[in-house]
Amino acid sequence: MGSVRVHSDFGVYLESLQIRDADSIAENANDYELARGVGLSHFPHPYGRSDALAFIERATAAFAGGIETHFGIHMDDGTLIGILGLSGLDKADRKGEAGYWLGRKYWGKGYGKKAVRLLLHFGFEDISLNRISALVYPFNETSAKLLRGLGFQKEGTLREASTDGKIMLDADIFALLKKDYREDADIVTEGFDAGSFAH
Ligand SMILES: CC(C)(COP(=O)(O)OP(=O)(O)OC[C@H]1O[C@@H](n2cnc3c(N)ncnc32)[C@H](O)[C@@H]1OP(=O)(O)O)[C@@H](O)C(=O)NCCC(=O)NCCS
């Protein structure tokens, strides 16, 4: 599959990962607070170029196989500012789990919410999901706010679902269903062939 791009007039767009993204990914991802928000049990910290390359390789293979879809989040000038994606894709039940992060210098400017809106278009319209969920640590108010603002509902708390390496952590589960999804922008996906995602 060539490069896949999801865009609108948001000032940020999504593009499938390329080897050339490795340095920007490592530079932005090497941040303890960011890793803590995503989950220290699975997100490397410290985060170096080799972690970024391993991630790009894994993510590219998973995208080609229709198992996961990860994208770089870019500003309109091409700068990579973060990563997001859908994992745990279940073709039979048409569901997936969203994950996302931005480099710290880009927090709090509305980019995260816009990028997740683009991801929702990809998930609901391009790969025909019916349900998109997200797991959020209870301390992560920004992420919970972002999701609620997009119509996600909190469904409950998964008790001790994760660890930070020292203590067990609860995770709140949020989800948005296709029937509650309203796309109020002109969002376009280019270069995507849904073949490997078909049921
Ligand atoms: C979570 C994250 C992606 C959010 O992206 P962002 O661009 O910073 O968020 P936005 O600017 O789009 O704001 C989203 C919402 O949070 C609110 N918000 C932004 N910064 C906030 C802060 N510091 N405290 C509380 N609320 C905040 C915004 O007002 C907005 O709410 P609204 O839609 O009701 O106006 C980003 O902060 C991040 O990468 N954090 C570290 C990694 C992480 O935790 N990932 C999520 C794992 S579940």
Helices 111-121 and 141-149 cross at an angle (nearest 10°) of 50
pLDDT tens-digit map of 77-120: 999 999 999 999 999 999 999 999 999 999 999 999 999 999 99
Q: Closest ligand 1 atom, CA of 137?
A: 48
Query: Ligand 1 pocket test: which of 25, 86, 142 has the largest number of ligand atoms within 8 Å of its C-beta?
Result: 142
pLDDT grade for 2, boundaries at 50, 70 and 90: confident
CA of 143 to the centre of ligand 1 (A): 5
Walk me through the domains of the chain, giving residue ranges and CATH numbers: 5-129+186-192 (3.40.630.30)
Listed in sequence order, the residues at least 6 apart from 145 whose beta carbon sits closer than 8 Å to its beta carbon are none
Mean pLDDT of the chain: 97
Output the CA torsion sign for 38, 39, 45, 47: negative
CB 116 within 8 A of CB 132: no
Cβ of residue 102 lying under 6 Å from some atom of ligand 1? yes
Residue closest via CA to ligand 1's atom 44 equals: 37
Q: pTM above 0.95?
A: yes
Q: Which of 72, 120, 61 lies closest to 96, judged by CA?
A: 120
Q: What tokens does 101 get?
A: 């992060």
Q: What is the predicted pLDDT for the residue at 30?
A: 98
127 CB under 6 A from ligand 1?
no
Percentage of the chain beyond pLDDT 90 is: 95
Residue 138 has pLDDT above 80, yes or no: yes
